[in-house]
Amino acid sequence: MVEESLTRVVQKLVEDDTSIQDALNRGYANISALARLLKPKIEEIIEGKVNISGVITALRRVRERLKPLRGENLKIIANSVISIRTDLAKISIEKTRKNLEKARTLPTKFPETFFQVLEGIGTLTLIVDQRVYNEVRLKFREDEIIDEKLDLAAIIIQSPKEIVETPGCIAEFYGALARKGINVEETVSCSTETIIVLDTRDSLRAYSILMDLIGEYRGKMNTLKILRPPPHAP
């Protein structure tokens, strides 16, 4: 198999698996073991045999290509700030034209409260302040309600505007939570804000995990500033 074609296949497999990206980025991936793991998948895709040394070489090339993106992510995540909202509830309802109109107008009736509307293909999910939950719930028929849950919290991550055009940043936040076994109930990205909704019992731990991630990136930023050579005097 042509070496460049093998690299493209390996890159596609890496791009489709955030856990592999994370392992390569953080430097704890065993390249040889990873190559053995990916080899059967590669051979299935190309319908032929590949040499393990070729897969190792391709993985090293892909790892090098990830480094510039990592630098952009470093700056964005390091400059993100986190806040947390508790006492939230969610209600998922059947998506009809009438319910869609209600969901879009309801936030204006509660301007001082937390109110997010998530629109799916067949459902609408409202994340609301628990104080107005009962009032919101009464706006919909019982048979239209698909799911509901109380005692939720929202972690709100505010990032620099560059996050909108930089892939991988939001995955870093989700990945940090997934590695620690934190379940995410709902999530929405609003321009420079990433909102992660989870069980209140997990909220403080999730907040701590994300603060540690941001702190880690800020530490790396400071290290880079120290290691960066000073500009030459004119």
CATH of the domain at 176: 3.30.2130.10
At residue 3, the pLDDT reads 56
Rounded CA-CA distance 136/109 in Å is: 10
Which domain covers residue 19, as residue numbers? 3-69
Residue 140 lies in a domain: yes
At residue 178, the pLDDT reads 86
| End-of-domain residue from the set 69, 101, 119 | 69
Instruction: Tokens 């992660």: give the residue.
Output: 196
Q: Say whether both 111 and 30 belong to one domain.
A: no
At residue 233, the pLDDT reads 46
Q: Say whether both 36 and 145 belong to one domain.
A: no
H/E segment holding residue 64 = helix 52-78
At 126 the three-state DSSP class reads strand
Number of domains within the chain: 2
Q: Say whether both 36 and 105 belong to one domain.
A: no
At 56 the three-state DSSP class reads helix
Residue 234 lies in a domain: no
Q: What b/e string do you get for 24-53 counting C-beta neighbours within 10 Å, with b at 16 or more? A: bbeeebeeeebbeebbeebeeeeeeebeee
Q: Say whether both 25 and 122 belong to one domain.
A: no
At residue 46, the pLDDT reads 87
The DSSP call for residue 85 is E
At residue 225, the pLDDT reads 65
Sign of the dihedral through C-alpha 6, 30, 38, 179? negative
Q: Say whether both 21 and 123 belong to one domain.
A: no
At residue 28, the pLDDT reads 82
Q: Say whether both 63 and 103 belong to one domain.
A: no
Residue 104 lies in a domain: yes
Q: Say whether both 107 and 42 belong to one domain.
A: no
- Per-residue pLDDT tens digits of the chain, which is 234 residues long: 455 588 889 988 987 787 788 788 777 889 999 999 999 999 999 888 999 999 999 999 888 877 655 677 888 999 999 999 999 999 999 999 999 999 999 999 998 899 999 999 999 999 999 999 999 999 999 999 999 999 999 999 999 999 988 877 888 898 889 888 999 999 988 889 999 999 999 999 999 999 999 998 888 887 766 545 555 544
